[in-house]
Chain A
Amino acid sequence: MTDSKTSETETADLETFRSETRVWLEANCPPEMRKPATSDTDVFWGGRNAKFASEPQRIWFERMRDKGWTVPDWPKEYGGGGLSAAEHKVLRAEMGRIGARPPLSSFGIWMLGPALLKYGNEAQKKEHLPKIAAGLIRWCQGYSEPNAGSDLASLQTRAESDGDDFVITGSKIWTSYANYADWIFCLVRTDSAAKKHDGISFILFDMTSKGVTTKPILLISGYSPFCETFFDGVRVPKSHVVGTVNRGWDVAKYLLQHERAMISGMGERGVGRPLGQIAADSVGTDPQGKLDDSMLRGRIASFDVDEAALAACAERAVDLAKAGQAHPAFSSAMKYYGTELNKRRYEILMSAGGVDALEWESERSRQGARPRAWLRTKANSIEGGTTEVMLGIVAKRILDLPGA
């Protein structure tokens, strides 16, 4: 704000961008893509074997991809839209205004991409980022192991040096959509003599490599979004290590910040019909139009207050990051609150739905969509770091409390 003329010009440019974006979205976002996704098939994940669930989904994805707006703030040279932080915020607001769905969902966009932009070498960026942006390659995350959950750094999957390659042996668990993924970003132990944080490397490889197998895990929701993933002597070129060998924990932590930001967003998905109206359909209203269950009404109203406040905080977190004032561990704070809030949302939805929300297998219930989604949310406060781990991080890294 040193030069008021400059900032006036910038504001004017931004308003031009806003009006152009609005017009473009109006003309290019199909009406079907302006409704919230209600099931996993409504979400386009990309990848070698990707299929579009509908023609509008294809059209919307391709139009956005052609503008670089699957990853609006990535540099253009890597397939992004090259938008400034302010323009990106405008685009999000304008998409939100018409309820436009994200054209492409992917762990490549949310997690690997930011880590590659920061830690990847030029060859790695050129190879992988454009394919993520264009939805050509679907990625999965090889982090947790059977004996390394909350204590992730104790992971045991070995990568042994053999000439120009590493040979990887071990297993991962809770690998989201590993059975659909084309490539994996994976934490492996490259030095077993070093202290646990110091012998880890961050490596990329193709899931069709010899020695990789996956086995879906059936969850309480009846779905299998997670897999066990086994590596039996998988040969990977050393050039696939991101960052420095044995310094993979830095990359891993940086990526986790993005993962946590992604998961915390679940708590503030204020799209679709408001909870109060969903509840009114099933529990009814009194003559004044108030929900006919005053305790439930109170819970919903408290939820709405917290959800709106969290949305403000998420917006502020982005603004602070852009201003260079964000605490790097703040994503842990947001992850904790966002996931707990999302669990509250689904407890309310189950309570509001009553008996109707209990059907597990019927057309009427869309094969139990609500109870399955309710059960799915219970993982929110476990995956990507448990609530307890998040609170520990806040206590130590932000509040600087003593111990461990």
Chain B
Amino acid sequence: MALVLTEEQSMLRDSARGLISDKAPVSHLRSLRDSKDPTGFSKEFWHSFAEMGFAGLLVPEEFGGSGLGFMEAGIVMEEIGRTLMPSPFLATSVVAASALNRGGDAAQKSEYLPKVSNGSLLATLAIDEGAKHRPLQTNLRAVRAGDGFKLSGAKALVVDGHVADLFIVAARSAGSAGERDGLTLFLVNPKAKGVAIERTIMVDAHNAARIELSNVEVNADSVLGEVDHAAALLDGVLDIGRGAVAAEMVGLSDEVFNRTVEYLKNRKQFGKLIGEFQALQHRAAELYVDIEITRAATMKALQALDADVTKAASAVAVAKARAGTTATRAVQEGVQMHGGMGMTDQFDIGFFMKRARVCEELFGDANYHTEQLAKARGY
């Protein structure tokens, strides 16, 4: 498989770019932030997104989706990264849709996937508990009670947590924190008794919440996948999320870079365009190369996911690790090269810096994924 977009994929990119840059430029995020919008994204826009087939992009056609692959999801994520559009696409259409599609039984799929496709259901994975992404450290307890379970514990960085219609909660049903065995995924209604949700306004003005479960009762039908053996399902779903976030970070990095290079070509100091200074030229060139390499690594990871989700771990680790270091460098250089302007809220570049920081923590930062690669290679 060539690492270039096919004609169909280029068309998808163009239509996503057209829609997103037209309806949700960075000013869209800014106004949602400034008005303290209670939803945190535009429902109206989400519906038109769904009508174009994006909400159900990964959902099989039999459930009303487009039945496309992770490469295509990455293409949309990259465009989202260019304007920092807040939307349920990552949490619902990529991560939750994949969890339901890969782990769900026939009844669960036919109940939820059509609603994901038509944009009427918002779902999200609740995984992180501590300050850092450590899936195996999951310690939210699931205790058997009658035919079902009672869930107790807390989750952080639950994307869209305050507006979601469905939580997919990773819980420990056996063993102890750190172990691979003993993890179970549960479908939890956010309105169920014992669920407390706190919207957390984050640095990037995107949606997130902390949730706390106190003896929340769920029945046996709420188990997604196998009891105690969710680790493999979770690995795949998280890798899909990581590939998608890496693609968002590529889009974000590329956009910051383009804006910065434009600035270098227009800003004058000492009677020259600052882009004439070799000190800045070389830094810009290094950053360009970093972004191109990370773009290729991310495409490679998305292709690997399309080929076989269960064999994509190393390619995904490389992509997410690279995306983290590259985006961090891109936004830092972006602010520095814009000088004082880069420090102002009025100027958009800061929004990119803030979003990059959140993307870096989502589903594991560069250190986490570099460590994963070292472990996979046995040293």
Q: Which residues of A contact B (CB under 8 A)?
A: 1, 274, 276-277, 279-280, 285, 289-291, 297-298, 300-302, 304-306, 308-310, 312-313, 315-316, 319-320, 322-323, 325, 330, 333, 336-337, 388, 390-392, 394-396, 398-404
Contacts and interface: CB of A to CB of B under 8 A. Distances in A.
Nearest to B8: A1
B318 A308 contact: yes
Q: Provide the main secondary structure of the chain B interface.
A: helix
15 contacts: A297-B374, A309-B294, A309-B319, A312-B297, A313-B293, A336-B285, A337-B289, A391-B281, A391-B282, A392-B278, A394-B288, A399-B284, A401-B276, A401-B281, A402-B275
B158 interface: no
B4 A290 contact: no
Contacts of A315: 3, 296, 300
Contact of B273 (A291, A309, A392, A403): A403
Interface string B319-362: 10110000000000000000000000000000000000000000
A403 B293 contact: no
A297 B375 CA distance: 10
A238 B318 CA distance: 53
B2 A322 contact: yes
A316 B4 CA distance: 7
Contacts of A337: 289, 293
A310 B374 contact: no
B7 A391 contact: no
Given A391-B281, A399-B288, A401-B275, A309 B378 contact: no
A399 B276 CA distance: 12
A301 B318 CA distance: 10
B296 A309 contact: yes
Contacts of B318: 305, 308-309, 312
B270 interface: no
A312 B7 CA distance: 21
B296 A316 contact: yes
A291 B275 contact: no
A279 B373 contact: no
B265 interface: yes
Contacts of B273: 402-403
Q: How large is the interface on B (under 10, 10 to 19, 20 to 34, 35 or more residues)?
A: 35 or more
Given A301-B371, A305-B369, A399-B288, 13 more contacts: A291-B379, A305-B373, A308-B297, A309-B296, A310-B293, A312-B300, A313-B297, A315-B3, A325-B4, A333-B285, A333-B288, A390-B285, A399-B284
Contacts of B373: 301, 304-305, 308
Interface in B77-119: none
Contact of B4 (A305, A306, A319, A333): A319
B269 interface: no
A274 B378 CA distance: 10
A300 B139 CA distance: 32
B378 to A, nearest CB: 7
Contacts of B374: 276, 290, 297, 300-301, 304
A291 B371 CA distance: 12
Contact of B378 (A277, A302, A312, A392): A277
Contacts of B321: 305
A272 to B, nearest CB: 14
A305 B281 contact: no
A290 B377 CA distance: 10
Contacts of B213: none
B298 to A, nearest CB: 8
Contacts of A323: 2, 4
B267 to A, nearest CB: 11
B189 interface: no
A280 B379 CA distance: 7
A290 B371 CA distance: 11
A300 B379 CA distance: 9
A392 B282 contact: yes
A392 B321 CA distance: 27
A398 B288 contact: yes
**Residue in B2, B265, B275 whose Cβ sees the most chain A Cβ within 10 Å:** B2
B21 to A, nearest CB: 22
A337 to B, nearest CB: 5
Nearest to A85: B2
Contacts of B3: 312, 315-316, 319-320
The 4 closest A-B pairs by CB, nearest first: A276-B379, A403-B276, A309-B297, A395-B281
B264 interface: yes
A399 B297 contact: no
A316 B322 contact: no
B322 A305 contact: yes
A330 B289 CA distance: 9
Contact of B7 (A1, A276, A300, A320): A1
Contacts of A279: 379
A404 B295 CA distance: 29
A3 to B, nearest CB: 13
A404 B289 CA distance: 21
Given A298-B370, A301-B371, A402-B265, A319 B289 contact: no
Given A300-B374, A301-B370, A308-B297, A395 B284 contact: yes
Nearest to B321: A305
